[in-house]
Amino acid sequence: MLDLPTKLIEWRCELEARCTARNVARSYEITVSKDLFGRWVVDLAWGRIGAVGARLRVSFESPDAARQFVEKTLARRASAPRRIGAEYQLVRWPKSSNPTVGASRAEARRAE
């Protein structure tokens, strides 16, 4: 699982799971920001790569609640090899953040 930065404001990561043998091509994006009213907003977007996919927006009053939601979401993505047969790889990570776990082959592509 990825280590989250100490401050989640304007935080984003993109993950992909690919396995041609199993016909798996999935993307997952998590974005955390603050809205005009000071609430923490977590946007999720997922689906098959190249398709429209689905979106979910969840609002929280505290940064701790938003962090807990993101951590649970990332933990679910970490169980993908057992569930879908392909591991999610980190595709894009913000420059200001420093991932330490779960970024194997995608670390090379992280030169954003």
Enumerate the domain spans of the chain.
11-109
What digits encode the pLDDT tens for the residues 40-92? Answer: 999 999 999 999 999 999 999 999 999 999 999 999 999 999 999 999 999 87
Q: What are phi and psi of 78, to 5 degrees?
A: -65, -20
Instruction: Report if pTM > 0.85.
Output: no
Q: How far apart are CA 47 and CA 86, in angstroms?
A: 14
Widest Cα–Cα separation across the chain: 47
